[in-house]
Amino acid sequence: MKEAYLVLADGTRFSGLAFGAPGTAIGEAVFTTGMTGYEEVLTDPSYCGQIVTMTAPQIGNTGINFEDGEARRPALRAFIVHELSEVTSNWRSIESLDGYLKKEGIVGLSGVSTRTLTRHIRDVGAQMAAVGAEDPATLHDRAKAAPPMTGQNLTGEVTTAEAFEWTEGSGVWAQARENATPWHVVAVDFGVKLNILRCLVDEGCKVTVVPATTTADEILALDPDGVFLSNGPGDPASVTQGIETVRDLLGKRPIFGICLGHQLMGLALGGETYKLKFGHRGLNQPVKDLKTERVEITTQNHGFCVDVDSLKDKCSVTHLHLNDDTCEGIEHLETGAFSVQYHPEAAAGPHDSRYLFRRFTDAIARQRS
């Protein structure tokens, strides 16, 4: 392996050994606290434009399979680990992590003190960075010149080019809901994770996935029973067409949003979003459902948040993050449209929040009846 570096925009430098694809990658340096599920992290479209650090110390020991991916290919810019496992041992594995990243053109860096890096990002904040085998001074210049995540609409890099039907459920991992007359849900793809689509199918839905630029009129022409707004990358305030689409759909069909979809709903209702210092990313984020008083351990991946003070008298806050009291869910008082900031499909992660898909289909059933 060749020596390589990660250099942050503030000049902080970390050395390590290059793996995966050769070259230089530029993106926002972030960290995720998930102890498992590195393949789901790699393929989560919400990581588009980011250099992702795994806080778990050893990564790669279960290899890569074709079942756990959350998209057809990874969208992140680079992958940082403390120790790259030289041994791949899992009955489903078909290739090594190193081989997978080489094939997909993703730069990797191992041997990094990820604990130190994580503490630095936590203290200073997420920031642009560059990783590669170039001279550290050159990498620093690249990081300083890179545009920040604020202001970037990245949905065009991860959305589907054309509408398609999704029919696959979770299979052996979940008990599907029997529904003689499936509810038709249109899922707007801002960077959707595939397990979200599986969860909708498990709830007895016929799912049509449409591009992020699909208008409200085009969605309504498909005659859906409900509309789902997916997760996705970048600054929600920059996804102006998506905000307009959500605004035009409110009150016309039941709506459920996750992550970026949640932020777009807040913006469509006249609210505001802001950037968190280092975001919430991992499988162990505590959230309280204010309706049931139940605490859930959730999967999250976001760097922006809805400002609840900007939505007074329009929405009720349904969920709160227990670490920092930030908004994790809203419900529109007038139409009942609702959304959450976290990932109830839990890929990877705990399944505490799967009930939200049933809450969505129950709303569809009430409207249909």
Please say if 40 is a catalytic residue: no
Least confident of 109-118, 213-222, 281-290, 346-355: 346-355
* pTM, two decimal places: 0.96
CA dihedral 262, 264, 265, 266 (to 10 degrees): 90
pLDDT digits (tens, 9 = 90+) for 245-304: 999 999 999 999 999 999 999 999 999 999 999 999 999 999 999 999 999 999 999 999
The structure tokens listed for 329 are 């869910």
The whole-number average pLDDT for the span 68-85 is 96
The structure tokens listed for 88 are 């791949």
DSSP string, 258-293: ETHHHHHHHHHTT-EEEEEEEEEEEEEEEEEETTTT
**Domain-wise residue ranges, the chain:** 3-145, 155-368
| pLDDT for 26 beyond 90 | yes
The predicted structure's pLDDT at residue 172: 53
Mean pLDDT for the chain? 96
Tally Cβ neighbours within 10 Å of residue 165.
8
The predicted structure's pLDDT at residue 174: 63
The predicted structure's pLDDT at residue 298: 97
Please say if 3 is a catalytic residue: no
pLDDT digits (tens, 9 = 90+) for 123-155: 999 999 999 999 999 999 999 999 999 999 999
| Domain 3-145 top-level CATH class | alpha beta
The predicted structure's pLDDT at residue 369: 75
| pLDDT for 191 beyond 70 | yes
> What's the pLDDT band for 176 if we cut at 50, 70, 90?
low
> What's the pLDDT band for 181 if we cut at 50, 70, 90?
confident
| pLDDT for 175 beyond 80 | no
Rg of the chain over Cα atoms, rounded to whole angstroms, equals 20
> What's the pLDDT band for 368 if we cut at 50, 70, 90?
confident
Question: Which residue in 259, 305, 315, 327 is the catalytic one?
Answer: 259
The predicted structure's pLDDT at residue 178: 73
pLDDT digits (tens, 9 = 90+) for 93-128: 999 999 999 999 999 999 999 999 999 999 999 999
| pLDDT for 35 beyond 90 | no
Please say if 28 is a catalytic residue: no
Question: Which residue in 70, 203, 328, 345 is the catalytic one?
Answer: 345
User: Which of helix, strand or coil describes residue 251?
Assistant: coil
Instruction: Please give the Cα distance from 48 to 304 (Å, whole number).
Output: 14
Return the HEC string of 314-364.
Answer: CEEEEEEECCCCCEEEEEECCCCCEEECCECCCCCCCCCCCHHHHHHHHHH
- Homologous superfamily, domain 155-368: Class I glutamine amidotransferase (GATase) domain (3.40.50.880)
